[in-house]
Amino acid sequence: MKPQIVLPFCLLLAGAQAQTLTTAAIQRYFNPVRSNLEASADVMPAEKYSYRLTAGQRTFAEWLNHSTERNYTDCATLKGETAPVSTKTIESLTSKEEVSKALKDSFAYCATALEALDDQKVLSSQQMSIAFLHTIVHNNEIYGNIVGYLRSSGIVPPSSAGRGAAKKK
C-alpha cells in the first residue's frame, strides 16, 4: 500500500479503538459531512445557487454537483458496478431543487455502499481503499469550500450553526 494511503488509515485506526475501521470512518467522518452538505444545500437560497465567490470559481451549485458526481463514481467502485447517473446529467443540473435532490440521492447511494463494506473489503485493493477514502476526504474538502459561499451570503454553516445557540444558554 502506498504511504499516502497508509497514513490516513493509521489515523482512522487510532480513532477507531474498539470499532472497525469502516464503522469508525462512516460514523465519525462520512455521516457528519453528509449532514453538513445536505443541510448546506437546504439553507442556501435558490437565487444563490449560481453564486461564485470570485470569477473563475465554481458556483455553489457546481460544488454540490461535483460532490454528487464523485459520490456516484466512488461509491459505484465500492459496490462493484457502473455509476447509475452520468456525469453529463449531473453537470446539467442548476436549480436548487434538482441539485439538492441529486446530492441527497448520491449520499443515499453511498450510504448503501458503505453499509455493505467491511475492513477486509476496503483493504482488498488500492482502488477500493482510494474510493473509500475519497468519499470521505473529498466531501470534506468540498464542504470546506462551500462554507465560504455560505458565510459570504450571511449564512452560518451547518457545522457551526448550533454552537452559538449552545453558548447563549
Taken as a whole, the chain contains a residue count of 169
Which of the four pLDDT bands, split at 50, 70 and 90, describes residue 7? very low
pLDDT at 164: 57
Prediction pTM value: 0.85
How far apart are the C-alpha atoms of 42 and 40, rounded to whole Å?
5
Confidence of residue 5 (pLDDT cuts 50, 70, 90): low
Q: Which amino acid is at 101?
A: K
Tens of pLDDT, residue by residue over 12-45, are: 555 444 468 888 888 999 999 999 999 999 999 9
Looking at the predicted structure, is the pLDDT value of residue 118 above 50? yes
Fill in the amino acid letter for 107.
F
Predicted local distance difference test score (pLDDT) of residue 158 = 95
The reported pLDDT for the residue numbered 163 is 65
pLDDT, mean over the chain: 88
Instruction: List strand residue ranges (DSSP E) for the chain, in order.
Output: none
Give the Cα separation of 128 and 51 in Å (integer): 35
Phi-psi region of 11 (alpha: psi -120 to 50; beta: other; left: phi over 0): alpha
Q: What is the pLDDT of residue 161?
A: 84
Q: What pLDDT does residue 8 have?
A: 54
d(C-alpha 56, C-alpha 40), whole Å: 22
Please give the helix or strand (H or E) that residue 87 lies within, else none. helix 87-91
Do 119 and 9 meet the contact criterion of CB atoms below 8 Å apart? no
Neighbours of 153 (CB within 10 A): 15
Q: What percent of the chain has pLDDT over 90?
A: 78
Q: Taking the domains of the chain in order of start, what are their residue ranges?
A: 20-39+59-155
Predicted local confidence at residue 4, as pLDDT: 53
Answer positive or negative: Cα dihedral of 25, 161, 90, 84: positive
DSSP code at position 47: G
| Choice among 112-121, 138-147, 155-164 with the minimum mean pLDDT | 155-164
Reported as a single tens digit per residue, the pLDDT across 90-115 is 999 999 999 999 999 999 999 999 99
DSSP assignment letter at 52? -
Measure the CA–CA gap between 81 and 60, rounded to whole angstroms.
29
DSSP state of 97: H
